[in-house]
Each structure stands twice: as structure tokens, then as C-alpha cells.
Amino acid sequence: MNQETPTKKHRIYTMPFARVYPEYVNKAERKGRTKAEVDEIIGWLMGYSQAELDAQLANQTDVETFVAQAPRLNPARAMIKGTVCGVRVEDIAEPTMREIRYLDKLIDELAKGKAMEKILRQEV
């Protein structure tokens, strides 16, 4: 039986990043963190400046395009390990989904109170 599921895009890909972004901010703020820290994480991971991030949000860019147009994916992102939604991020084969889950993982770490230096994989 030939199913089309393997070629069907995950629904997160077509969702506007501007719809996902407030969820990241809310998750951080509920735990006493800030929007600025969320923006710093996005900048570190994907290379977006604040102006570029704001433009992507204003343009209602979908998540897949947001990842694809990332100005500079941080090479240190390969150091991000652990699970998100029960899946190990380092084991995700599909590149776009792996980048999305890297961001999810960093926001989780922020919400759990981890220091920014550790979240951004910097030596302390």
C-alpha cells in the first residue's frame, strides 16, 4: 500500500513563525525569563539580528522558510543534546525538523532556569 505520509510536510512547517514565537516567549516569561533572552537564543542559533527577526515576524514567514532563510546557523548547535517531545534532537535525520527541535530544546533550557552561558554553549 503506497501512502503519501512520508512526503507530506509536518504541519509546523507551514505555520507562521509569528504564531510559534509568542509560545516561546510565553513559556520563558512564565518561568521568569524574558523575551530578550528568547531573541538572543534565536540570534545565537540562527544568526538573525533583532531587525531581521522582527521582519520575519511581521512578514508572517512560515517556519520552514524561517529556518531555510536563517542568516547563519551556529556551528556550535551540534553541541545541543537531549530530548524534546520524547525524541533525541541529535537523532533527528530531517534537517529542518532538527533545527526546529534545536530551538525548542534551547527554549526548554531557558524555561528550566539554565544560565544563558550554558544555553548558548559558551565556556564559563
Task: List, for residues 101-124, the tens digit of each pLDDT value.
Answer: 999 999 999 999 999 999 999 865
pLDDT at 85: 85
Q: pTM, whole model, 2 decimals?
A: 0.90
Q: How confident is the model at residue 5 (pLDDT cuts 50, 70, 90)?
A: very low
Q: What domains appear along the chain, each with residue ranges and CATH number?
A: 12-114 (1.10.8.290)
Tens-digit pLDDT profile for residues 43-97: 999 999 999 999 999 999 999 999 999 999 999 999 999 999 899 999 999 999 9
β-strand partners of 118: none
Eight-state DSSP code of residue 9: P
Closest by CA position to 23, among listed 36, 13, 38, 37 = 38
